[in-house]
A and B are shown apart, each in its own frame.
Chain A
Amino acid sequence: MRIGSTSWIAPLALLAIAAGTTVASRAEADTVKVGVILPFSGMAADVAQSELRAMKLYYKLHKAELGGHDIALIERDSKEPSGATAQTLTRELVVQDKVDMLVGYQFSPDAIASAPFITQAKKLAILVNAQSSHIPMLSPYIVRVSASSWQITYPMGPYAFDKLGCKTAIVGFTDFAPGRDVAAAFKAGYEKAGGKLVDSIAMGGPAQVPDFTPYLQRIKDEKPNCVYIFTPAASFNAALARAWRDQKVAEAGVRFLGTGDVTQDSVLPQLGDAAIGWITGGHYTADLDNPANKKFLAAWTKEYGDKVKPDFFTVQGWDAMAAVFHVVKTLKGKIDADKAVAALKAWKEDSPRGPIMIDAATRDIIQNIYVQEVVKKGDSLGIKVIGTIPAVKDPCKELGVGNCAAKK
């Protein structure tokens, strides 16, 4: 090998850089160290940034309540949704940075991969997103403040049948595990209410070019009363709205329903007028009318301007920080995972998304699901809340179905 004599450089560099970080990450004594694991690079970078901003904003506004204690965020980039990076970071934050608790996990696999180590390390982990229903079952120290896909979807089944007149329906979903989870949840809720599910359409994988034309054509030809659609947020929804308009599906008498992902506030203006009349079920919209949300929006605009609208991801970050604050205040800065979980089980919060609490049985969030209709507001689009399904528990675990059925 020509390069023989240079080969020692590589590990030496590793040692030097690693040693540097070890020294740098030593923190002060009376500070609670919180490891934040989110995908700051890659396709969800903007979402992660929005969540982090909310966390920092909450910290800034509520710092005084900590009573002498302080909270230090140690941010790490979990990059691609492979689970591997998030897991490595979890281990590093525990072993090397000696964090007191963990916050984050955007993608479900990131949380699933890390769960065994969260248990092994005995650290509280607060899920900022990771909506796969069964995740809190994987570790007794996982608490979710976001939402589960069943929680958002399942109640919309009965609502669609009873309140929206959907006697027949089709469910369409992006063809990957979270999408199939949503489809199963809708089917369960809708059929239990007495609805007739005509078809279940896999609408292409998450990596494919998002052209929904043939799927919507198929839906139109099958003439259901309603269609319930899930796509992973953002980049797919603009395309969905285009195809919806071109295929004239609404004109054919089909009503659009979907998860709150489809009408994510920050992307809503890009959908265009084709989306007017769409109805989604979700746990937060910036157009919610309650005092906590008004205060939150005002603070957000003051801090970050009005260019970037907060959405449900943002509020998930906000509430994650609220949970962290509750733990630190309750335990007076001495963080123990079991006590922290116990503290959160008794936690009730007046969040911008309305009243929320943690289900003592499942460590999952209990929250309202709002039925949101897209309406024209001035030049742009906005959300009108046309119904509220109060205090929804995660139905997946309640029913013991799907991923939640077999407890390992």
Chain B
Amino acid sequence: MAAPERTGAAETFLRRRDDARLTEAGFWVLALAVPLVLPEHAAFGTQVLIMMLFALSLDFILGYAGVLTLGHAAYFGVGAYVSGLLSAKLGWHEPLSGLAAAGVVSAAFGALSGWLLLRYRDLTLLMLTLAVSTTLFELANTWSSLTGGYDGLMGIQIAPIFGVFEWDIAGVTGYGYALALLLLCFLALRRFTVSPFGQALRGIRENPLRMRAIGAPMLGHLTLAYTIAAGVAGLAGGLFAQTNAFITMDVLSFERSAAVLTVLILGGTGRLYGALFGALVYMLAADRLAKLSPVYWEFGVGLLLVVIVLLCPDGLLGLYDRVRAAFGWRSR
């Protein structure tokens, strides 16, 4: 069939597009260094890692498959309540299995709701995702005898990880636990995005009409992607419940859906590292700047969104790429 040099060219192209770079290790090494160098920031760092994981899950469905949702917190919240309730109500305190349960239940819920909702598009889909997540939020409020509602779910106790690593007040154990999970999910998601399925998702994002015309089962593809994203979001929620040993119905709130959207857009969609970078910048800014002036902070976030949409639609990392290109540095 094809001449060998052509095949080689395709493989070279794909490897250059997909393969990990040595410099990426820098991110993870530095992330690992945080609790060693600055153990007192571990608790905050854990929150950042959880936001990173949550944003990663959104990137998979929004950045790769192009599905716009206003209700992604639904899956975060389901995961949080699954692992929280397992411990608080059923007395199951082992962390890894609790986390796995969060991911599985959330993925199952994602599969069901995705199969129902993803046949719709545009504002209809937007409203449906919003309605589903708000219904869950209200359910958690109404059913507070189970969930604790606004006051929160008390009595979550998480056993030491592997029975060895105790949860310390500084949060170093939690940080390590979160970082390990983040890395695993990142590697899995990266693998999915560079697979033929990942390619099909990009195709749906770029042109759903043509994807249908080449015979792609759109609903099936999207539901699978949505299930994976929901599972990862559920893991993030489960992690949130376990590391805080406490959750309120806030885990299902619209504000959380909006925040993760902002985080992802800030970093840049469809590149995984955008989710990580966006979460870091957003959380740091929220932590450091919001207190200076709450009003200005809200204005700042709004302005940021407007500026990003108008001036750098592919986020901070996209902006960085463009700056590099403008200076003639080799990108890729």
- The answer to whether any beta carbons of A and B sit under 8 Å apart in the complex is yes
Chain A interface residues toward B at CB < 8 A: 1-15, 17-19, 22, 40-42, 45, 75-77, 79-85, 87-88, 91-92, 94-96, 108-109, 112-113, 116-117, 120-121, 132, 138, 175-178, 180-181, 205-207, 408
- A79-B290, A94-B169, A113-B244 are known contacts; what are 8 more A-B pairs with Cβ within 8 Å? A2-B321, A2-B332, A4-B20, A4-B273, A75-B291, A88-B46, A88-B47, A95-B39
**Counting CB contacts under 8 A, is B240 at the interface?**
yes
With contacts A4-B23, A180-B144 taken as known, whether A92 is within 8 angstroms of B151 at the C-beta atoms is no
* A41 CB contact (under 8 Å) in B33, B41, B248, B290: B290
With contacts A109-B152, A116-B245 taken as known, whether A40 is within 8 angstroms of B291 at the C-beta atoms is yes
| Residues A40 and B288 in contact, CB atoms below 8 Å apart | no
**Restricting to B20-51, which residues have a CB under 8 Å from any CB of A?**
20-21, 23-24, 26-27, 30-31, 33-34, 37-41, 43-48
| Residues A132 and B151 in contact, CB atoms below 8 Å apart | yes
**Counting CB contacts under 8 A, is B155 at the interface?**
yes
Q: Which residues of the partner chain B approach A116 to less than 8 Å between Cβ atoms?
A: 245
15 sampled A-B residue pairs with Cβ under 8 A: A7-B27, A7-B277, A8-B26, A10-B277, A11-B280, A13-B281, A79-B290, A83-B247, A92-B43, A92-B44, A108-B150, A132-B151, A138-B154, A175-B142, A177-B144
Interchain CA distance A270-B170 in the complex, whole Å: 45
Q: Which residues of the partner chain A approach B317 to less than 8 Å between Cβ atoms?
A: 2-3, 6
Q: Which residues of the partner chain B approach A41 to less than 8 Å between Cβ atoms?
A: 290-291, 294, 297-298
Q: Which residues of the partner chain A approach B27 to less than 8 Å between Cβ atoms?
A: 7-8, 10-11
Interchain CA distance A14-B317 in the complex, whole Å: 17
Chain B residue nearest to A96 (CB atoms) is B40
With contacts A7-B23, A76-B291, A88-B47 taken as known, whether A95 is within 8 angstroms of B321 at the C-beta atoms is no
Chain B residue nearest to A9 (CB atoms) is B277
| Residues B273 and A7 in contact, CB atoms below 8 Å apart | yes
Distance to closest chain B CB from A13 (angstroms): 7
Chain B residue nearest to A205 (CB atoms) is B141
**Counting CB contacts under 8 A, is B94 at the interface?**
no
Interchain CA distance A180-B276 in the complex, whole Å: 40
Distance to closest chain B CB from A87 (angstroms): 6
With contacts A18-B41, A95-B169 taken as known, whether A176 is within 8 angstroms of B149 at the C-beta atoms is yes
Interchain CA distance A116-B281 in the complex, whole Å: 30
Q: Which residues of the partner chain A approach B253 to less than 8 Å between Cβ atoms?
A: 80, 207
* A178 CB contact (under 8 Å) in B20, B150, B276: B150
* B21 CB contact (under 8 Å) in A1, A82, A88: A1
Distance to closest chain A CB from B265 (angstroms): 15
* B24 CB contact (under 8 Å) in A1, A22, A82, A83: A1
Closest 3 CB pairs of A and B: A11-B30, A96-B40, A41-B294
Interchain CA distance A377-B37 in the complex, whole Å: 61
* B284 CB contact (under 8 Å) in A4, A14, A175, A408: A14
Interchain CA distance A322-B321 in the complex, whole Å: 56
Interchain CA distance A92-B138 in the complex, whole Å: 32
**Counting CB contacts under 8 A, is B148 at the interface?**
yes
Interchain CA distance A2-B46 in the complex, whole Å: 26
Q: Which residues of the partner chain A approach B95 to less than 8 Å between Cβ atoms?
A: none
Interchain CA distance A75-B149 in the complex, whole Å: 28
| Residues B151 and A177 in contact, CB atoms below 8 Å apart | yes
Distance to closest chain A CB from B133 (angstroms): 12
With contacts A8-B26, A75-B291, A176-B141 taken as known, whether A80 is within 8 angstroms of B250 at the C-beta atoms is yes
Chain B residue nearest to A75 (CB atoms) is B291
Distance to closest chain B CB from A390 (angstroms): 29
Interchain CA distance A207-B47 in the complex, whole Å: 25
* A83 CB contact (under 8 Å) in B21, B155, B246, B271: B246
Chain B interface residues toward A at CB < 8 A: 20-21, 23-24, 26-27, 30-31, 33-34, 37-41, 43-48, 137-138, 141-142, 144, 148-152, 154-155, 169-171, 190, 240, 244-248, 250-251, 253-255, 268, 271-274, 276-277, 280-281, 284, 286, 288, 290-291, 294-295, 297-298, 317, 320-321, 331-332
Interchain CA distance A132-B154 in the complex, whole Å: 13
Distance to closest chain A CB from B20 (angstroms): 7
| Residues B40 and A95 in contact, CB atoms below 8 Å apart | yes
Distance to closest chain A CB from B154 (angstroms): 6
Q: Which residues of the partner chain B approach A108 to less than 8 Å between Cβ atoms?
A: 150-152
Q: Which residues of the partner chain B approach A178 to less than 8 Å between Cβ atoms?
A: 150-151
The CB with the most chain A CB atoms within 10 A, among B20, B27, B152, B295, is that of B152
| Residues A18 and B38 in contact, CB atoms below 8 Å apart | yes
Interchain CA distance A9-B319 in the complex, whole Å: 14
Interchain CA distance A5-B16 in the complex, whole Å: 13
With contacts A40-B291, A113-B152, A177-B144 taken as known, whether A120 is within 8 angstroms of B169 at the C-beta atoms is yes
Interchain CA distance A121-B280 in the complex, whole Å: 28
Interchain CA distance A85-B48 in the complex, whole Å: 11
| Residues A15 and B34 in contact, CB atoms below 8 Å apart | yes
Q: Which residues of the partner chain A approach B151 to less than 8 Å between Cβ atoms?
A: 108-109, 112, 132, 177-178, 181
* B150 CB contact (under 8 Å) in A96, A113, A206: A206
* A91 CB contact (under 8 Å) in B43, B142, B276, B332: B43
With contacts A87-B246, A95-B43 taken as known, whether A3 is within 8 angstroms of B273 at the C-beta atoms is yes
* A82 CB contact (under 8 Å) in B250, B277, B290: B250
Q: Which residues of the partner chain A approach B332 to less than 8 Å between Cβ atoms?
A: 2
Interchain CA distance A228-B286 in the complex, whole Å: 39
Q: Which residues of the partner chain B approach A112 to less than 8 Å between Cβ atoms?
A: 151-152, 154, 246
Distance to closest chain B CB from A116 (angstroms): 7
The CB with the most chain B CB atoms within 10 A, among A10, A45, A108, is that of A10
Chain A residue nearest to B149 (CB atoms) is A177
Distance to closest chain A CB from B35 (angstroms): 11
Q: Which residues of the partner chain A approach B271 to less than 8 Å between Cβ atoms?
A: 1-3
| Residues A177 and B34 in contact, CB atoms below 8 Å apart | no
Q: Which residues of the partner chain B approach A45 to less than 8 Å between Cβ atoms?
A: 294-295
Interchain CA distance A45-B293 in the complex, whole Å: 10
Q: Which residues of the partner chain A approach B190 to less than 8 Å between Cβ atoms?
A: 1
Interchain CA distance A88-B169 in the complex, whole Å: 10
| Residues B290 and A40 in contact, CB atoms below 8 Å apart | yes
* B40 CB contact (under 8 Å) in A8, A22, A87, A176: A22
Distance to closest chain A CB from B53 (angstroms): 14
Distance to closest chain A CB from B124 (angstroms): 23
Chain A residue nearest to B171 (CB atoms) is A91
Interchain CA distance A152-B281 in the complex, whole Å: 43
Chain A residue nearest to B52 (CB atoms) is A10
Distance to closest chain B CB from A385 (angstroms): 31
* A176 CB contact (under 8 Å) in B48, B150, B254: B150
Interchain CA distance A177-B150 in the complex, whole Å: 6
Q: Which residues of the partner chain A approach B272 to less than 8 Å between Cβ atoms?
A: 1
